[in-house]
Structure 1
Amino acid sequence: MADGLDRFLEGRRLSPAQRRIARYLTDHLAEAIFLSSVELAERAGVSQPSVTRFAMVLGFAGYPELRHALRPLVVGGRTPSRANDLQAAIDAEIDNLRNVRETLGDPSGIVDLGTTLAGCEPLPVLGLRVSSGLATTFAYFARRIHPDVRLLTHGGSELADGLHAARRAGAGWLLAVILPRYPAEAVRALLTARELGLRIAVITDRPDVPFEADVILAAPVGERLVFDSHAAPLALAMVLVEAMADAAPLRTQARLEEYERMTEQARVFTEHPG
């Protein structure tokens, strides 16, 4: 039954509330097809309008039409089965990582971008809302091998100031992380960056995004849980850091050795007793 429901969900971008509905249907489809939209909303812990919007996202006029379409998945002698949803979510992430691996069959694109960003001083890195975590992780490691990485994770005038300051200091590129749901302010920041003369590279979830960039690095996000998981975009970001490190090997070696001396002198890390 879950496989049949997956056919309805495939390729759909669901909100967190809609994912709660999808998960309830996956777990309880045999009983859910007899529930009203109000009852389903109560069981899934969402509002009744959320159930209606969920049905419309799947291409139906309303919940009654969706319920009618789901009934053949239950009625007809099929043996109910309940997969472990948490394991299925991890399986989906493994598939996403395989997708990234396949795109690296020809590494020339990310190698070229790594070389370009390694030579960009300063290097502004943008990430707002949910994308700020991945942008921060990228910047944390990139700073170990790059002399001037400028992290931009706050919006408003502070973001505009950061873009202008980076451009005045000689930046030629902006690396942006824009994961769904795509923040409108981040998209506007790309337009500002373009007006300032910056070229743009974006780490995102798919090639066909509603904004423009000179380079798009796409890695699917996990959509099986209430909130997206970002294992594949994180792996892609770390590959880009590796490409930057390889592009300037002498600088990378010198900076990493200096960093290790500093952390040892300051006793930054606790040594494992083994």
Structure 2
Amino acid sequence: MKENKLDLMRIIQVKFPRLSKGQKLIAEFILKHYDKAAFMTAAKLGGSVGVSESTVVRFANELGFAGYPKLQKSLQELIKNKLTTVQRIELSNDYVSEETALKGVLKSDMENIRATLEKINNETFEAVVNNIFKAKKIYIVGLRSTTALAEFLGFYLNLILDNVHVITYGISDIFEQMINMSSDDLVIGIGFPRYAARTIEALSFAQKRGAKVVSITDSLLSPLASKADYTLIAQSNMASFVDSLVAPLSVINALIVSVGLREKEKISSTFSNLEDIWQEYAVYSYRESKEKSY
């Protein structure tokens, strides 16, 4: 089901009179606290209102969902771009404690990667790689929390292709950095909830210039996806004030490796030269083991 908030809330209200006493308690809780309910298990939601887990499952079925996880996902879709940082902190306090943070976050990231592996389209991925090689110039736009991803992608692609420009906040506005963009170019936009408005505007600008647009985002319903010719989906769910960018980084790693595999000889030559430069200028710490003579 792909109802927006009003549709989902209206369904609950319309069905309310026919619900059982226990189901009405669940409905009232969701109508008032849908932001918290979105991250509750069926058992926890039931416990919060004093009903059994099976009652919660039957409630989801009554609304037309094929199970509680489907209802939960629908609720999460409603709120993921609406939550303020303060609300995220409150949610993380409810579901992740200092004692469980390590395992909880690692398990969540593992689930995000698993879900990404299931959702990502291999044909789209290959098309993106092909367009990277076709582009005269490649612009990468990732602002705010996704800046690290954009810089990482730009750093490695530039070692391979030499025609990559990472759009950043700075002295010049992002549009000034894209002023010479043409239909021969490619723009890669990276964005996850809460989506940076400037990234969306940059992709709209690219569309007007006739450039090919790739988005790396969490859903085909994302505002970045609506501006893109190709969309790579990477799940980033995290009930916390920190964005989970592990799965997006894995997708970016895969892009870099795929591009690199087509330019093996160039990469080998480039890194051979770089090793000499790094050693000459002590970019990295080199430890030389010397045998002592007695």
Task: Say whether the fold is shared (TM-score over 0.5).
Answer: yes
Superposition deviation, residue 248 in structure 1: 2.8
The alpha-carbon distance between structure 1 residues 156 and 184, as it changes in their structure 2 partners (threshold 3 A), is farther
Residues 128-143 of structure 1: pairs in structure 2 closer than 5 A: 128-143=143-158
1:150-161 equivalences under 5 Å are: 150-154=165-169, 158-161=173-176
Residues 1:249 and 2:259 aligned together: no
- Secondary structure of 1:165 counterpart: coil
Question: Which has the higher mean CA deviation after the structures are superposed, 225-234 or 250-259?
Answer: 250-259
Residues 255 and 116 of structure 1: is their aligned pair in 2 closer, same or farther, counting only changes over 3 Å?
farther
Query: Is residue 110 from structure 1 mapped to residue 179 from structure 2 by the alignment?
Result: no
Distance 1:260 1:156, change over 3 A: closer
Question: Post-superposition shift, 1:85?
Answer: 4.2
Distance 1:272 1:215, change over 3 A: farther
Question: Deviations for 1:112-131, whole angstroms, at most 9, x for unmatched residues?
Answer: 31232134232111111222
Equivalent residue, structure 2, for 1:52? none
Post-superposition offset of 1:235? 0.8
Q: Distance between the aligned counterparts of 1:174 and 1:151, measured in 2?
A: 10
Deviation of 1:272 (Å):
5.5
Question: Deviation string for 1:37-60 (max 9, x for gaps)?
Answer: xxxxxxxxxxxxxxxxxxxxxxxx
Distance 1:205 1:267 in 2: 40
Q: TM-score, normalised by structure 2?
A: 0.65
What is the letter of the counterpart of residue 100 of structure 1? T
Counterpart pick for 1:189 among 202, 208, 213: 202
Aligned-pair distance for 1:273? Answer: 6.8
Aligned to 1:228: 243
Q: How does 1:1-274 map to 2 (within 5 A)?
A: 3=41, 4-5=43-44, 10=73, 11=76, 12-13=79-80, 14-26=83-95, 84-103=100-119, 107-154=122-169, 158-167=173-182, 171-210=184-223, 211-271=226-286
Distance 2:94 2:118 in 1: 33
- Distance of 1:107 and 1:86 partners within structure 2: 32
With a CA cutoff of 8 Å and minimum separation of 6, indicate the structure with the bigger relative contact order.
Answer: 1
CA distance in 1 between partners of 2:115 and 2:288 (Å): 38
Name 2:16's counterpart in structure 1.
none
Q: Which amino acid in 1 is paired with 2:117?
A: R
CA-atom RMSD, angstroms? Answer: 3.0
TM-score (norm 1): 0.69
Q: Distance in 2 between matches of 1:156 and 1:180?
A: 26
Q: Percent identity?
A: 19
C-alpha offsets along residues 141-187 of structure 1, whole Å, 9 cap, x if unaligned? Answer: 111211121110227952112212243xx842111112221111211
* Residue aligned with 1:125, SS: strand
Q: How many residues align?
A: 218
Distance 2:269 2:123 in 1: 26
SS state at 1:232 partner: helix
Q: CA deviation at 1:219?
A: 0.6
Contact 2:91 2:240 in 1 (8 A): no
Unaligned 5+ residue runs, structure 2? 1-38, 46-67, 290-294
Moved over 6 A (4+): 6-9
- Looking at structure 2, the residues matched to 155 and 214 of structure 1 have their Cα atoms a distance apart, in angstroms, of 28
User: How far apart are the structure 1 equivalents of 2:125 and 2:177?
Assistant: 25
Aligned residues of 1:89 and 1:224 also touching (Cα < 8 A): no
Q: Distance in 2 between matches of 1:27 and 1:239?
A: 30
Distance 1:273 1:208, change over 3 A: farther
Taking the aligned partners of 1:255 and 1:227, their CA distance within structure 2 comes to 36
Query: Amino acid of the residue matched to residue 269 of structure 2?
Result: A
* 1:2-58: CA deviation from partner (whole Å, max 9, x where unpaired): 634477865241332112222344479xxxxxxxxxxxxxxxxxxxxxxxxxxxxxx
SS of the residue 2:221 aligns to: coil
Q: Which amino acid in structure 2 is aligned with residue 145 of structure 1?
A: I
